[in-house]
Structure 1
Amino acid sequence: MGSDGTANPTRHRRTGVAISALGLCAISAAAVACADSPRTLSALALTAAALLALGLYHLRGLRAPAPIALAEPPPTAAQRDADLVQHRALEAALAHAPVALWRVDALEALPLNVAARRLMAPGGAPGGVAAAALRERVARTPTEGRHREVLSFEGERGSERALMASAPLQLGNETTRLVALMPIESELETEALVAWQQLVRVLTHEIMNSLTPIASLSGSAIELLAEAAQAQPDLAEALEAIARRSAQLLAFVESYRSVSQWPAPQWQVVEVAQLLSGVQHLVAADWSAAGGTVRCEVTPDSLQLRTDPAQLEQALLNLARNALEACLQRTDHHDPGAAPALLLQARLGRGGRLAITVSDNGPGVAPGLETQVFTPFFSTKAQGRGIGLAVVRQLVHGLGGTVRHAKRPSGGACFVLGF
């Protein structure tokens, strides 16, 4: 009993639970003894229900004692030193990262490392824009989800591009944004220069191959003109050869123009399964005529993509056409017993990106040529013009995607389109 003469609440509840339990036991025994009397059994059932309700009421009021929290031992001096070293290493890595990093809170951009502060210095921003304009542009990044885009800055040094990416950042109970900015103009110019060097090399080779016989035959035609009376047949043959080589040169230049000019995409949401099925139907006849098969796999069936279906279909048709030519080469020279096979596959990859794969069982891309197969007019085939894969890359990049060659353990060529 407490000092005020009242019972302890916990003891009352325990007593109530005990009484209810004993009463239920007694009622159970009485029910066995009075099994022949329905009226008595009904009364006992009502009493048992009341005792059960009373027991549950008191049982809910009981609480298990809270567990005793064991205090963690304080960290040792060695642990504190190790944590300090790790903390300083992370700070150094952040400070000297080559990518400029900002933290954006309430439309205010705070530089986090040396690269960001360098861009904020006078004349350090892309294009030479003012530091305030750069800070304002970083602060205006989209606030929802992950975001990435290529920005163009117009300043004292002209136009310069930079890649900006942003993502939400959770710091305790506070949600902020982390923004990364990397000027890419110099890297793009380097890549463009390398690409143009490769293109000029191929163009020079092809044009010289056409102009050399034209020059030679023209000289022969001039000499024959002096003897036109007895050399009419030879003169006609020389002029015919000149016309033929000129037509081939014009066709080559026309191919170059087709690679460099494509209309703007007409965007719409398409069902990936329907798109790949359409490509399968378009190429099935050619593959069947060659004794081959075409399969299509989409996982899951509900995959959708915002794209230009006509341009993406053209890219896939080019890949399928190249694959058939490669498989026919394999049939002629490598393994005559294997039937050509093409697989069109679509699935979600890392980060939720859509991957469309076009693979075959042909001889594959020769080692060392993986990075050259997309160069305009580069071809591994004797009679190839080398524009198929160049067109594929231009179409896919114009649709906001990427295309790459992937090695397969089983052999054959495999191209992956990522969106």
Structure 2
Amino acid sequence: MLWNDQTVRSLLRRIFDAAIESAAPSKAVLRNLPPKPAGRCIVVGAGKASAAMAAALDAAWPDVDVSGVVVTRYGHAVPAGRIRIIEASHPVPDEMSLKAGRTILETVRGLTADDLVIAMMSGGGSSLLVAPAGDMTLADKQAVNAALLKSGATISEMNTVRKHLSLIKGGRLALAAAPARVVTLVISDVPGDDPAAIASGPTVGDDSTIADVREILQRRHIQLPPRALAVLEAGVGLPRRGDLTGQVRIIAAPSMALAAAAHVASEAGLRTLILGDALEGESREMGTIMGGIALSARRSEHPVKGPAVILSGGETTVSIRGGESGRGGRNTEFLLSLALALSGNEGIWAIAGDTDGIDGTEDAAGAIVSPDTLRRSRAAGLDAKKLLAGHDSYSFFEGIGDLIKTGPTLTNVNDFRAIFVL
């Protein structure tokens, strides 16, 4: 194939779309449904994919007594028949998040051993499903979430804190549903696919301790509101992993998305190198590292000889330490840093995006970098280094017309990155 800017851009977009399609909730749910129950099926769930997951089950089981409620992000709702859909805020919870937590807890109370609870969990559920412990208010939960998001904490660290401040996370939803049988279907968006970390594991036991929470707060310099501190002082732990007997199935995950992307690249005649599905760290630092890997491949054919695609997944972080910040998310910040690291070298393109279609809080999933990215940005009067320092990567890629906008994809298997080396 003749590789030029147009053909490479087209391929990268097909690769990204294949990664998203591999995690389509309708297909993933149908492949993983348990046997139909003799009695009722109560569906609960939280996350950006939960409404689409619920809709797939409702359509698949017309002959089963199905009811329930799930919560998803604003703009991610789809009709789910007999299952009620609530929309709430992400990444910081709102009143509807609180309503969702109360409603779901009420839905699973009073069940019997003949009932089946199917919990549908996906990324974003931690902020969408809120049930504050102790005397905490919604404002307290919002303050905790905002502090966590700004701290640079990993998703695992954030969820550890959230669980110990909740009446529904960290396996407590499963306790509330007893003695009903619980089957959890999970679309993973976390490094390592630990179901206890996805949506903060409402139906999965957790071995973290309050001491672990205190260590995270100290290391990340996070101040909790007084009522949240009081919850920690009360010392009520979470159910341990061995305490709950429900079944958990990972039905879609970043590794599956990377495999689907690699298949498309291979069909196009490219070598593929998958660096991993659980890469973490600061977005701008990851951009510098990946830039070095791409330049090495281009110049010395190591670690892979071109034409090739270097794939990776995971979730980077953007730490904001004081001052004002612009618009952008993890993926566009990564790409702007990558563009600076590549410094206009020929023969290297890249795409990165959030598979849920929303990078951070913006309306773009991500963006594309090409060999002429910096040249075109200078012509547009954009200062790449200044915009990166001000966390304004969205404005950079908007200014050169290289944002990728998919709209909500109704799934979420974390961030996706692909670098094409000619």
Fold shared by both chains (TM-score > 0.5): no
Question: When you count helix as a share of all residues, which structure comes out higher?
Answer: 1
Q: Which is higher, the Rg of structure 1 or of structure 2?
A: 1
Q: TM-score, normalised by structure 2?
A: 0.25
Q: Which is bigger in relative contact order (C-alpha 8 A, separation at least 6)?
A: 2
Q: TM-score, normalised by structure 1?
A: 0.25
